[in-house]
Amino acid sequence: MNKPLLIEIGVEELPAIPFLNELPNIEKKWSDILEKNRLLCDFDFYYTPRRLVLWHREFQVKQEDSIVEQYGAPVKIAYKDGVPTGAAISFATKCGVDVSALDKIDLGKGEVLYFKQEVKGTESKVLLNEMVNEFVYSLNFGKSMRWASRTDSFIRPIRSLSIILGEEIVEAELFGVKSSNFSFAHRMVSYEPFSYSFAGDYFCKLDKNGVILYPDERREKILSQMKDIEQRHNIKIEIDTELLEEVVAITEYPTALIGKFDEEFLELPPEVIVTSMKENQRYFAVYKDGNLTNNFIVVSNSKTDDFGYIIAGNEKVLRPRLADAMFFYKNDIKNGLSNERLKKLVFVEGLGSMYEKCERESKIASYLADIFELKEKELLQKAIMLSKADLMSEMVYEFTELQGLMGYYYAKLAGEDELVYTALKEQYLPDGEDSELPSNLFSSIVALSNKLDNLMGLFSAGKIPTGSKDPFALRRAAAGIVKIAMEHKLSIDLSKIIDELAHNYKNLDKKVLIEFFNERLFKIFEVNPTVLKAVLASGETDIYKISQKICALNPIVQSDNFKDYVATFKRVANIIKDIDTSVKLTIDEDLLENKEEKELYTKFHEAQFKKYVTVDEELEALFTLKPQLDNFFDNVFVNHENEKIKTNRKNLIGLVYQGFRKIADIKEITI
């Protein structure tokens, strides 16, 4: 028999960010508890800042009866001369019965002790108290708090608990609060709790009391109101999805409103205004004709017919925020960009100051500039040494997420070269999965220098990512290097870079860093892992060439006829397993007797010395050797009695293998 089950946990206002971080795990945690208690069913989870709700349209009023089977020791061990041994007694105790109640069963390897028991299902209302407590205590919001005289803690005080099965209030207690049929209205409707008789009554009364329980409905309401505002004012609202989710999480009855700030503040860089509004006030930015306007959108949680005082209050609160930002901005312009104070700012323990970090980056940049034949070397050094200077600005001290960007504005205002100030803005790119990349070679070198120093420096200091922990975002740095190399077609040979610059990093283990970097490649390239393994087995350490080889090889591996190629290369692998293919192999043409081996040699010789524009062309030419290889294997006896002929034939196959291995070790590929 099934009945509706409603669980509401009433709390004081939840902080949005910790709650949203845990939100993806909440349904899974409750589902696991249901499954553990043999009560798994469909349910919905809803939330407002003051309540967590689990709604089950059909919930079992009792667990299903079940059969429990247990197996014990072999009978020959459980009994000695017909008398139960310790093994039998221990098994009977475990099953909660006398030894005489035990049965025997043959599982195919002799008889063992066996006990079968029918377990009656427990009524759900008996289990729900413990289940709800387990669920709430499993939620991880980071920080928690204690209240009143309690010694346990939660993210916010629990103020009410409702567990209603059908029309019955299930007896339960959570943080000292007993289950009841009371809930709370929107604060601007009433501070008094309201009662309800059953789930349908609960949903109806919530709506009447100014609470939109469903987050999807609140989100749609906000977006619809924003669309109306856009049409009425001929503007464009920037819908920041993270901010939108935060606003949905902190409102029970949202209303989008448009406000205004003084035009004088538009002198600030747009990013400063947007960041200040978002971080401090949770406002959405407003644009017109592509330019930031002096309007903002605030989402109110008030339930009123007159929003004038709410708009005025938000305008009043925003002004000092922007006034502070203007003060910081003008002070920073007056002080100018200077890296001298970076000498007192520690980068990481063991790696010196931020100034010393810039010096290390400048050496990397100089090395890369020579490789990529960059002409503007003096400007490059200037950009590197100024790249972290904005860390000491008042604006970045207030809004750390604006580092690099403020350097861009201050360098531009100071009359620096466009290459320099653009590089300052782009030095941390890419900074996310779908992030933009540095726009030119100059900026790319600055960004690469930063990421390479982070990797070599932090690895030398023992700050190596473990498990899910990566506090310095080194995995993202590695991915960024790969993306820049591919975007700008830059030959970045990590092995050579480390060899050249390792003397600047004490205790740097090249092998560990290369292994870490290669592990990231398996995450970056969405291909059969053995394709990447085959390319790496070629000994290639140039990131751009690795990407070219993968792009050339992967379509062939995915083709329908690649299985035929695999069969051929297994034969190649069998022949070359006793050959040292790391050395130069030679062929004596006078020892080529068979037509098939001569054809293979001629075809391979042509492919080997032909000039190719792309890796695809070279790989395609090598794969066209398959017919000659198959004819060779079918008609040529490799293990000739003449040792010289035998060696010559093995060397021929070895040469073919070496030709492929320049691109990838095909024998590593499995499909």
- Tell me, yes or no, whether 48 lies in a domain: yes
18 pLDDT higher than 90 = yes
- Given this model, what pLDDT does residue 560 score? 85
Tokens of 272: 């400063």
Query: Which range has highest mean pLDDT (96-110, 359-373, 465-479, 650-664)?
Result: 359-373
- Given this model, what pLDDT does residue 553 score? 93
- Tell me, yes or no, whether 538 lies in a domain: no
55 and 129 part of one domain: yes
1 pLDDT higher than 90 = no
pLDDT band at 582 (very low <50, low <70, confident <90, very high): confident
424 and 488 part of one domain: yes
- pLDDT (tens digit, 9 = 90+) per residue, 252-268? 999 999 999 999 999 99
- Given this model, what pLDDT does residue 285 score? 98
Beta bridge partners of 284: 297
- Given this model, what pLDDT does residue 240 score? 96
567 pLDDT higher than 90 = no
446 pLDDT higher than 90 = yes
- pLDDT (tens digit, 9 = 90+) per residue, 77-121? 889 988 899 999 999 999 888 988 899 988 888 899 999 888 888
500 pLDDT higher than 90 = yes
Sign of CA dihedral 658, 661, 665, 667: negative
DSSP per position, 563-625: HHHHHHHHHHHHHHTTS-TTSPP---GGG--SHHHHHHHHHHHHHHHS--SSHHHHHHHHHTT
Angstrom CA distances, 395 to 125, 175, 388, 517, stand at 57, 44, 13, 35
Q: Which of 221-230, 332-341, 580-589 is predicted least confidently?
A: 580-589
565 and 642 part of one domain: yes
600 pLDDT higher than 90 = yes
Instruction: Give me the mean pLDDT over the 158-176 stretch.
Output: 96
Residues near 407 by beta carbon (within 8 Å), at least 6 away in sequence: 337, 386, 387, 388, 389, 390, 421, 424, 425
Query: Is residue 630 within a helix (H) or strand (E), and if so which, with residue range?
Result: helix 626-635
Q: Which of 173-177, 193-197, 464-468 is predicted least confidently?
A: 464-468
- Given this model, what pLDDT does residue 161 score? 97
647 and 601 part of one domain: yes
pLDDT band at 602 (very low <50, low <70, confident <90, very high): very high
- Tell me, yes or no, whether 546 lies in a domain: no
CATH number of the domain enclosing 374: 1.10.3210
**With 0-12 CB in 10 A as exposed, 13-18 as middle and 19+ as buried, what is 533?**
middle
Give me Rg for the CA atoms of the chain: 35
- Residue-averaged pLDDT of the chain: 94
CB 551 within 8 A of CB 576: no
Instruction: Give me the mean pLDDT over the 369-374 stretch.
Output: 96
71 and 13 part of one domain: no
Whether the bond between 430 and the residue before it is cis, its omega within 30 degrees of 0, is yes
489 and 582 part of one domain: no
- Given this model, what pLDDT does residue 290 score? 95
- Given this model, what pLDDT does residue 609 score? 85
460 and 507 part of one domain: yes
Closest CA to 445 of 376, 505, 496: 376
- Tell me, yes or no, whether 543 lies in a domain: no
- Tell me, yes or no, whether 532 lies in a domain: no
84 and 174 part of one domain: no
- Tell me, yes or no, whether 17 lies in a domain: yes
- Given this model, what pLDDT does residue 350 score? 92
Instruction: Give me the mean pLDDT over the 618-645 stretch.
Output: 91
Its domain, for residue 198, covers 2-62+124-209
- Given this model, what pLDDT does residue 117 score? 86
CB 648 within 8 A of CB 632: no
d(CA 225, CA 211) in angstroms, rounded, equals 17
CB 37 within 8 A of CB 63: yes
Domain C-terminal end among 524, 539, 566:
524
- Given this model, what pLDDT does residue 434 score? 85
649 and 559 part of one domain: yes
- Tell me, yes or no, whether 519 lies in a domain: yes
The C-alpha torsion from 608 through 610 and 613 to 614, rounded to 10°, is -30
- Given this model, what pLDDT does residue 576 score? 83
Closest CA to 669 of 550, 521, 523, 529: 529
DSSP 3-state of 333: helix
Percent of the chain with pLDDT over 70: 100
Domain C-terminal end among 194, 209, 224:
209
401 and 517 part of one domain: yes
Instruction: Give me the mean pLDDT over the 584-599 stretch.
Output: 91
- Given this model, what pLDDT does residue 579 score? 85
65 pLDDT higher than 90 = no
377 and 496 part of one domain: yes
- Given this model, what pLDDT does residue 566 score? 82
- pLDDT (tens digit, 9 = 90+) per residue, 453-464? 999 999 999 999
- Tell me, yes or no, whether 89 lies in a domain: yes
389 and 450 part of one domain: yes
Instruction: Give me the mean pLDDT over the 313-321 stretch.
Output: 97
CATH number of the domain enclosing 656: 1.10.730
Instruction: Give me the mean pLDDT over the 483-493 stretch.
Output: 95
Tokens of 25: 């795990």
pLDDT band at 5 (very low <50, low <70, confident <90, very high): very high
- Given this model, what pLDDT does residue 568 score? 86
What is the count of structural domains for the chain? 5
Burial track 210-240 (b if 16+ CB lie within 10 A, e otherwise): bbbbbbeebbebbeebbeebeeeeebebeeb
Beta bridge partners of 177: 174
Domain C-terminal end among 505, 524, 543:
524
